[in-house]
Amino acid sequence: MLEDDSGKPDDDPANGPADKGLAQYSPSELQQIREEFASGKMPLCPRCKVAMSRREIGGGSFGLGYARQRDWLICGKCRRSAIFDIHRGTRT
């Protein structure tokens, strides 16, 4: 285990890894991303503070009778992402 300037281990089993080791954003991080995006600006990744990139996802499965349109926001640094339903503003 490596130690940082504080003298505490970077990867302490009791406290978890330094970046919390979570592959997905937490619900509060998703809410922050959603609010920034809904206000018309491109959100920053809550973990890396890097501007996220946007990709549209359209269409749906055959036979469902509807087509969903979603926004996929991706961090170029940590590669985490969030997908939101465009019309409903919900996480999918």
Question: Quick check: 11 pLDDT over 80?
Answer: no
Q: For the chain, give every domain's residue range.
A: 27-85
- The total of other beta-carbon atoms located within 10 Å of residue 89's CB is 12
For residue 70, the model assigns a pLDDT of 82
- One-letter amino acid identity for 72? W
pTM: 0.62
Tokens representing 77 are 């640094």
Q: CA–CA separation, 59 vs 77, rounded Å?
A: 28
What confidence tens digit (pLDDT) does each residue in 30-77 have?
999 999 998 989 999 999 999 999 998 766 566 555 666 788 999 999
Q: CA–CA separation, 11 vs 38, rounded Å?
A: 35
pLDDT confidence bin for 15, thresholds 50/70/90: very low
